[in-house]
Structure 1
Amino acid sequence: MRRRRRRWSGPGPDDRDPQPLGRVASRIAADRGWTERLAGGQVFARWGKLVGEDVAEHAQPVAFSDGELTVQADSTAWATQLRLLQRELLKRIAAGVGVGVVRRLKVQGPAAPSWRYGPRHVPGRGPRDTYG
């Protein structure tokens, strides 16, 4: 049986040397497949800087999945404007967080109010059908 000889660290860099925290964290994220989700989180955290304060004032990211970023505008006019600026916004986001992180942009208008009250609901036109 042959004994392995123990290697002693020399004056050069070694894997056992203390590593910067950022390097260790990025290595762990890459090993576990978290890089896409972390990049998506950067889009949410840096939204105002990525797209500009004027756009960020009227639109917020709401979801990120499989390279598709869903953005909700506060009015239909801003939703139309964001659809027209879609290519420019994708370029800005790619410059800020990396190319290929956000591949598609889905723009939604404002959410319509719900007229349902309570846990039970009867299908139909509602109170309008009782007026004649």
Structure 2
Amino acid sequence: MLMRMADDSVDPAVQALARARSVSGSQSRRRAVKPTHYSGAAPDDRDPGALGRILDDWARSHGYSHRLAVSALLDRWEQIVGSEVAAHVSVGEYRPTKSGGTVVLTADSPSWALQMKYLKDTVLVRIEEEVGPGVVSHISIVGPKESSRRAGRLRVRHGRRSPRI
């Protein structure tokens, strides 16, 4: 069945093709094994997971969950306390402790500092709802720095009044 050329020789390309066919025919082809059962619509171990859940599990296993919770507190401060309070009170510092952590809130006026002292328990509950329990256990509130009244050019010395004219 090989094609012969005019001079009764066999074409080398045809010979190579015949060899390839004979070699491949000698090896039996294996068919892919079909699964005996199908996955179906119910969830199983091979289904992809939700990215948020996967990242939460990874952060928890690598010890980043507490840092992420503190970052969430700083990021969601306006949602936690509302826009009016957030305009006058900001998160100044977070100090980790054994029982959770202390958040230092900085108010822009003494009246807002006093108002936050009244709202401290409510804000603590809102932080636990929004960020999670155990992240913040105590809230410390500081007002603005008062101006220092030190000696200056126009200072009255020793508490005396200025002379009357």
Output the CA distance in 2 between the equivalents of 1:32 and 1:126: 55
SS in 2 for 1:50: helix
Output the CA distance in 2 between the equivalents of 1:22 and 1:104: 29
Aligned with residue 13 of structure 1, among 21, 44, 48: 44
Query: What is the alpha-carbon root mean square deviation over aligned residues?
Result: 2.9
State the one-letter code of the partner of 1:65: R
Farther-moved stretch of structure 1 (19-28 vs 79-88):
19-28
The Cα of 1:131 is off from its aligned counterpart by: 8.8
Q: Aligned pairs, how many?
A: 114
Q: Which residue of 2 aligns with 1:121?
A: none
Output the CA distance in 1 between the equivalents of 2:95 and 2:48: 35
1:43 aligned onto 2:77: no
The Cα of 1:127 is off from its aligned counterpart by: 4.5
SS in 2 for 1:60: strand
1:107 aligned onto 2:141: yes
Question: What do residues 98-121 of structure 1 show as CA deviations (whole Å, max 9, x unaligned)?
Answer: 222211101111134689xxxxxx
Structure with the greater alpha carbon radius of gyration: 2
Output the CA distance in 1 between the equivalents of 2:86 and 2:121: 16
Q: Which residue of 1 aligns with 2:122?
A: 88
The Cα of 1:92 is off from its aligned counterpart by: 1.5
User: How many percent identity over aligned positions?
Assistant: 35
TM-score of the pair, normalised by structure 1: 0.71
Output the CA distance in 2 between the equivalents of 1:131 and 1:100: 52
Aligned with residue 65 of structure 1, among 83, 95, 117: 95
State the one-letter code of the partner of 2:91: P
Structure 2 stretches lacking a partner, 5+ long: 1-34, 158-165
Cα–Cα, structure 1 residues 113 and 38, in superposed 2: closer, same or farther, change >3 Å? farther
Output the CA distance in 2 between the equivalents of 1:19 and 1:62: 37
Cα–Cα, structure 1 residues 18 and 113, in superposed 2: closer, same or farther, change >3 Å? farther
State the one-letter code of the partner of 2:93: A
**Greater RCO, CA 8 A, separation 6+:** 1
